Homo-oligomer: A and B are copies of this chain.
Amino acid sequence: METIEVRLRGLGLALPAAPQMPPGVRLPFPWVRVVGCRALISGHGPTLADGSLARPLGKVGAEVSLDQAREAARLTGLAILGSLARELGTLERVACWTRVFGMVNSAPGFNRQPAVINGFSELILDVFGPERGAHARSAVGMAGLPFDIPVEIEGEVELHPA
């Protein structure tokens, strides 16, 4: 069976370093919380390879275009995979995806949140396949997000026993 790591390489994907917050920001919680066979994933934003926040920042439908937001959702997915890999040791422990909550920093009138969060869902399906990667999902519009990130995603995966 092809491993997730092999699949990531085959797709030309590299996982970024741990999220780096702007100076002075204290986030007193882990990026992933494992409880039994569940891994709860904290809200992540889009990051670059070094873990710093990806640009552009701002509201989707104003400062950030739909295409830029879809790419931000994809980067958010890579950031989450990085956090899962660091917490679990290996992504092979992910038995399947369960729940994804996709939040889009939305300018007035913007209503294409699903098209944005598809950038995340398509990444997960590419990496984990249609069964293991399937997830319940919401994609909704927020009035604001930390640091003006355009997308924030939280969720949950089911784990194989350690």
A residues apposed to B, CB below 8 Å:
25-33, 35-36, 38, 40-43, 96-101, 103-106, 108-115, 118, 121-122, 125, 134-148, 152, 154, 158
Contacts and interface: CB of A to CB of B under 8 A. Distances in A.
Given A42-B138, A137-B42, A113 B35 contact: no
A28 to B, nearest CB: 5
A144 B115 CA distance: 14
Contacts of A154: 101, 136, 138
Tally of this chain's copies: 3
A43 B137 contact: yes
Contacts of A158: 35-36
Contacts of A29: 100, 121, 134-137
A160 to B, nearest CB: 13
A136 B40 contact: yes
Given A28-B125, A33-B136, A98-B33, A113 B40 contact: no
B146 A143 contact: no
A140 B144 contact: yes
Nearest to A147: B111
Contacts of A111: 144-148
Contacts of A38: 98
